[in-house]
Amino acid sequence: MATNAALVIGNSAYQSVSELPNPRRDAAAIADALTRQGFDVVRMDDLNRNDMYDALRAFRDKADEADIALIYYAGHGIEIEGRNYLVPVDAELVDERDAPVEMIHVDALLRQMSGARSMKMLVLDACRNNPFVARMQREDAGRNVGSGLANIEYAEADTLIAYAAAAGEITPDGVAGGNSPFTRAFLNAIDGPPQDVRRLLGAVRDEMRQSVPGAAPFVYSSIGGREYVINPNSEPLVQPEPEPEPEPAPQATFDLATATTTILADFAIADRLGTAEAWDGFLAQYATLNFHVLYSLALEKRQAIEAATDRRGLQMVGQDAAIAAQPPAGAAPRDDTPPARDDRIATLAEPRPEAPRIQTPARAEPAPLPEAAPEPVPDVSAAPQPDPEPEPEMTYDEAVRALQVDLRRRGCYRGAIDGIYGRGSSSGIERLSDVIGERIVLARRPDVVALESTLALLERHPDADCPQVAAVSRPAPRKATQPAPVRRKTTAPAPAPKPKPAAPAPAKSSRPKFCPDYGVTRGCRNGTPIGD
């Protein structure tokens, strides 16, 4: 059978500093709680350095055979140069260099329980106000001493480390004679319903925040996704049983065929009577059958009667009361007696357990309605009649042509006389209205009446003409591809060139020239020199 092992240490009786009142009580309470949860617990109090090492060596054998190995330490803890130490009761710690010799490094605890098969758990309620720090600072013997534990450097897989406070922070020891705030919250969580250890430590953190303002317990975890429970023997949280839902009340059976036969008979009675009271009784009786087609028809007939009554009331508005009260000449005397009302109609408004067939009563004759007095015919001749609109004398095409002719005569239009009111005609009207001084506004396609009104307006200004703008002629631009024309002079012909002087003849040589005896030589005759 798998077992869980725990080592619980409480150091209170310190020799070099004042005694801590609560760690021994904390260790006793934690040991009892873990024993109830099935742990094989070894509890040790007020251990010196050698005793702490002996306890760790003895616990190692239990941890190697356990699924979960847990060490709970309550006492002084200190951090020097980023390393965490637990303080035995015989430590003096005058110089920070004494820490490795006089105290127990936290890594030693983790190594001694590394053989646990499932999870290794270390809980350090050791972040109390540390008198060693003040002492070393007073003697100027420590430069890198902290007031609380730092982060753990060595941690294997499946390891969970719970601090009573965040790294470098402190938490109070609690009221003397009780437990520390962290131990009390841890005990409450263990006695609670069984749950994963991470959720259990989350409950410890929530309680600490309420009991110690500013406290921030910290958890370092390298465990996997499986569930680890250290309080399996606690009472599970009992969920309240849901209240049984009330059974729905049995619905009354409904015979649609019988109801249809009854509603049809009563509908026929109300339709024969044709009065508002008959339809009101029918609608009240069959309100639960408002989905039936006869109910919808009855509702429409009732609304039609109400609308007819409203129309008769409106006919009487504005008439003289005396004339309305007198019957017309030759009419029968007015009978104000209400029509006879069948007693069966009243039963339609009363609920009935059964729907028997209603016998058809004799139809009561409704009383004749009083005839309304004839409305006086108004004298149409006495009322002022509006002037009839003048009928156009020209067609649309003729009116546009006449306007274009007039505009061309005044120099305001240069287009064709085509009977089309376009941009040229509209521009001419605008120019002429500026000359006249009256704004003439015509639609994009004016009617014949508007065109005739415009012509009448122009007739009142026969001398109004549009100003003419002189046309400016501009020479056509020269084409870049044509060569510029060559300008020739028309002056007198140029004088003939002067004759050049003849080159002087070369001078004859004074040397005699001899001719050979043979052949023919130019300038020679019988070999006699020329000039001889």
pLDDT tens readout for residues 22-48: 999 999 999 999 999 999 999 999 999
The answer on 126 and 77 residing in a single domain is yes
Q: What is the DSSP string of 381-395?
A: TTSPPPPPPPPPSS-
Residues 261, 216 share a domain: no
Per-residue buried b or exposed e for 444-471, using 16+ beta carbons within 10 Å of the residue's own CB = eebebebbbebeeebeeeeebebeeeee
Residue 189 lies in a domain: yes
Give the helix ranges, DSSP H, for 212-292.
256-273, 276-285
**What is the per-residue pLDDT for 483?**
55
Same structural domain, 141 and 274: no
DSSP secondary structure of 404-424: HHHHHHTTS--S---S---HH
Residue 104 has pLDDT above 90, yes or no: yes
How many angstroms separate the CA atoms of 196 and 229, rounded?
A: 5
Do 133 and 200 fall within a single domain?
A: yes
Average pLDDT over the chain reads 76
Answer for the pair 220, 152: CB distance below 8 angstroms, yes or no.
yes
Structure tokens at 156: 């294997």
Q: Are residues 198 and 159 both part of a single domain?
A: yes
Span between the terminal Cα atoms of the chain, in Å: 171
In this predicted structure, the answer to whether residue 393 has a pLDDT above a threshold of 50 is yes
- Say if CB 130 and CB 145 are below 8 A apart: no
Q: Which of 125, 116, 139 is nearest to 16 (CA)?
A: 139
Neighbouring-strand partners of residue 70: 6, 121
The yes-or-no verdict on residue 337 having pLDDT over 80 is: no
Quick check: is 524 in a domain?
no
Asked whether the predicted pLDDT for residue 532 surpasses 50, the reply is no
For residue 113, CA distances in Å to 5, 431, 513 come to: 10, 111, 150
Secondary structure (DSSP) of 292-339: SHHHHHHHHHHHHHHHHHHHHHHHTTTS-HHHHHSPPTTPPPP--PPP
Q: Residue 192's pLDDT is what?
A: 92
Sort strands 39-45 and 4-10 into parallel, antiparallel or unpaired.
Answer: parallel
Domain count, the chain: 3
CATH number of the domain within which 153 lies = 3.40.50.1460
Full DSSP string of 60-114: HHHHHT-SEEEEEEES-EEEETTEEEEPPTT----SGGGHHHHSEEHHHHHHHTT
- The pLDDT confidence band at residue 308, using thresholds 50, 70 and 90, is confident
* Domain-embedded: residue 478: no
Report which secondary-structure segment, H or E, holds 41. Answer: strand 39-45
Q: Is there a single domain that holds both residue 49 and residue 177?
A: yes
The answer on 277 and 183 residing in a single domain is no
- Do 212 and 294 fall within a single domain? no
Residues 358, 401: one domain? no
- The answer to whether the beta carbons of residues 9 and 55 sit under 8 Å apart is yes
Same domain, yes or no: 264 and 160: no
The answer to whether 187 and 33 have CB atoms below 8 angstroms apart is yes
pLDDT bracket for residue 345 (50, 70, 90)? very low
- Contact call for residues 59 and 71 (beta carbons, < 8 A): yes
Residue 179 is predicted with a pLDDT of 87
Residue 358 has pLDDT above 50, yes or no: no
Q: Which residue has the higher pLDDT, 508 or 358?
A: 508
Select, from the ranges 312-326, 382-396, 400-414, the one with the highest average predicted confidence (pLDDT). 400-414
Residue at 364 is within a domain: yes
The pair of structure tokens assigned to 505 is 């003849």
CA distance 232 to 196: 10
153-183 confidence digits (pLDDT tens): 555 778 999 988 766 566 666 666 678 899 9
Cα–Cα distance for residue pair 363/368, rounded to 1 Å: 15
Q: Which residues span the domain enclosing 175? A: 4-221
Q: Which H or E run includes 55?
A: helix 49-64
* Structure tokens, 362: 């004799």
The pLDDT > 70 percentage for the chain reads 61
- Domain assignment present for residue 111? The answer is yes
Longest CA–CA span in the chain (Å) reads 194
Give the range with max mean pLDDT: 3-12, 15-24, 406-415, 513-522: 3-12
Beta bridge partners of 340: none
Q: Is residue 516 part of a domain?
A: no
The pLDDT score that the predictor gives to residue 144 is: 45
Among 296-300, 316-320, 344-348, where is mean pLDDT lowest?
Answer: 344-348
Task: Please tell me whether residue 9 adopts helix, strand or coil conformation.
Answer: strand
Task: Please give the residue that has the higher pLDDT: either 245 or 120.
Answer: 120
**What are the structure tokens assigned to 333, written together?**
């005397």
Residues 286, 216 share a domain: no
Last residue of a domain, one of 443, 459, 475: 459
For residues 37 and 41, give the distance between their C-alpha atoms in angstroms, rounded to a whole number: 10
pLDDT, average across residues 503-509: 56
Length of the chain as a residue count: 532
Sheet strand arrangement including 68-74 = 39-45, 4-10, 68-74, 119-125, 159-163, 218-221
| Higher-pLDDT residue of 509, 124 | 124
Cα–Cα distance for residue pair 371/319, rounded to 1 Å:
13
Is residue 361 assigned to a domain?
A: yes
Residue 380 has pLDDT above 50, yes or no: no
DSSP code at position 349: G
Residues 357 and 301 in one domain: yes
Domain boundary among 432, 459, 486: 459
Given a contact cutoff of 8 angstroms between Cβ atoms, the answer to whether 42 and 57 are in contact is: no
Does residue 135 lie in a domain region?
yes
Last residue of a domain, one of 161, 196, 221: 221
Name residue 10's beta-bridge partners: 45, 74
pLDDT digit string, tens, across residues 65-96: 999 999 999 999 888 888 889 999 999 888 88
